[in-house]
Structure 1
Amino acid sequence: MDPTSTASQNCSRIELTIWCRSLKNKDVTSKSDPMCILMLKNEENDKYEEIGRTERVENSLNPDFTTKMLLTYHFEIKQALQFCVYDCDEGLSNPKKADELGSLRVTLAEVVQGHLRNGRLLEESGNKQATLFVTARETVDCRQSYVFNFVGRKLDDKDFITKSDPFLVFHKRNSHDGFTPVGQTTVIRDDLNPNWPAFRINCATFCDNNPQLELKIDCYDHERDGKHDLIGTFYTTAAELTSQSSGKEFQLIHPKKKEKKSSYKNSGLIFLERHKLEEDWEFSHFVQAGLQLNFTVAIDYSASNAWEPKANGSTNNDSPIRTLNG
């Protein structure tokens, strides 16, 4: 069954947030670079199939993944999930070459009921305290995304020899009177006046499709050991971010610096240069709009290709039992 399908009335769209604590360190000179892959059991072939994966968090044994997993919860169907955590030193595309940090099999119903909110120990983790946390919340099926272009100016320098390596982390207010991370920009190296590449995020993921939902945006100085230094924070809403075409200015405030210094103003400025709203088109939309595809197959029967089963030099010799009929 398609995990993104909402054809049944007895179902709801679910967003999963994942984080881990006390993972085993598989590296020698640094810490593990964890990534989590979510798999759903296919009842037809009794195999677990990947339906999504988080980003790779560098040098962290306690990762807070910002990538959300979206799937459909069917009330009348048992949906078996498997969470697999890897140390991916070689990147996201090749988990088979990565070190396993543990896995956990549960049902989606357990996740929805909050059984993993307080964590559950990972199996075969190499560390008896390695724990996986997952929360689920109902969300809307939204086909639009925000695209933001942020720049920073006069950010605090948190490094001694070089300059700060700033990046932004976006959080939205949750129902537990806290904030949930939903995404982050790329890291800009050695720059106190960064121009971040365009940040694109689905409206439902960003703010539950509610422009008035409170958002928290943190600016950090990236550190290779995973202990990123906070430069400052500001609070806003999607409505405020999109209220004008460009030039919106926000002050980064560091809470501890503000408490210690009466003359403290800010730790830098963040400007929203541009923003836009884009449609999230899928293949079905193009088909419904009249897209036509043409498929052409050509088979070369020329004598130069030596169509003989025993001809080792033939380009057609890919099967020892192939014969030419007619």
Structure 2
Amino acid sequence: MECTLGQIVSQRKLSKALLKHSNTVGKSTIMVTAEELTGNNDYVELSFSARKLDDKDFFSKSDPFLEIYRVNDDGTQQLVYRTETVMNNLNPVWKTFKTSLNCLCSGDHDRILKCSVWDWDSNGKHDFIGEFEATFKEMRGAIDGKQVQWECINPKYKIKKKNYRNSGIVILNQCKIIKMHSFLDYIMGGCQIQFTVAIDFTASNGDPRNSCSLHYIHPYQPNEYLKALVAVGEICQDYDSDKMFPAFGFGARIPPDFKVSHDFAVNFNEDNPECTGIQGVVEAYQNCLPKIQLYGPTNIAPIIQKVAQAASEELHIRQAMQYFILLILTDGVITDMADTRDAIVHASHLPMSIIIVGVGNADFTDMQILDGDDGILCSPRGEPVLRDIVQFVPFRNFKHASPAALAKSVLAEVPNQVVDYYNSKGIKPKCPSEFESSRTFSR
């Protein structure tokens, strides 16, 4: 059988009939179960102190700091964390710090961690106090008010001094694991991607009847709009259970009165702008072209506001279950920059991401500004975006690349944007056991 990774993770258990072998077609099925291997995404919060450390200074007490090193598979050591120095104190309490489990132990709870305590000196020649080995498995004992302790040993003293016990005690007062949820946690917990398409029908695209037009329908070769739509849409559709995609157009005069619209339904059904599957969007687009007049200007704020309104309404109904992606396909510079910035700032508070694909060879400088990678986007009133939700990609960079390469670049930031939104709202994903998917996929 054939399927995509997106179909597997969004269903968690995908069962499909075998496609080949005459004796088993329609009789046998293959079930694929998805499970994300976690451990490296989580963070750990550690609080260390020590008591009765050796005094290394003549006129004052030691100024101790603690270092933690991860021992790698090849035996090398990598510094994970160095605490601040506590001055003139043999019983220091170091500040609580946070590090990822990936950084601390590569997600391996039994990996050896080398810990050493030093007496700080201003000349940089710090005096060694002692060391010990630990594992994260041992550290996990410091929960619910319990402590974990290690003797801090100076190997030289242990050899030379008969009655030597230790150079102090290092104490872990708290070990707190902070769960970092992933994109798959939300998808496998039932979060649905709501995919909406907006297509630029301004006159700068050229007359669709002319072969030089960006909207020209070639009998054998899809135009850039169709290439971008299919490449991105075919991936997004795996995360949308009903496969119904709203499709809108902007910048055209539309029948029957031929007034300019910046958010009309491509299928001309304003009450139900949804198309069945990506192929349905393609067909609606092709049927729409002969019936409209390409015009202008290039205003994209209205369509952003329309989708933001839908996201806002859905949020009140089914919190954490719907995330909206708006794909805008446009050929040039937008003419309502101030309103667009304002709309994006508002949308950054909602479960929504905006992908803009620039079609053709126009100057897309304004689009790079909206992307926000070079600085924080602000509304005309100076209000900054709550989070980065816009990704801009010029199609010309992918003219000779595979559809997969375009889709990868276009969708690269979406998983983090989904996680950032739900984390900012303190919304945890549902556990897979709480969510029984009834979604089915067909090819």
Question: What range is the shorter-chain TM-score in?
Answer: 0.3 to 0.5
Q: Whose helix proportion is higher, 1 or 2?
A: 2
Q: Whose strand proportion is higher, 1 or 2?
A: 1
Task: Give TM-score, length-normalised by structure 2.
Answer: 0.33
Task: Give TM-score, length-normalised by structure 1.
Answer: 0.44
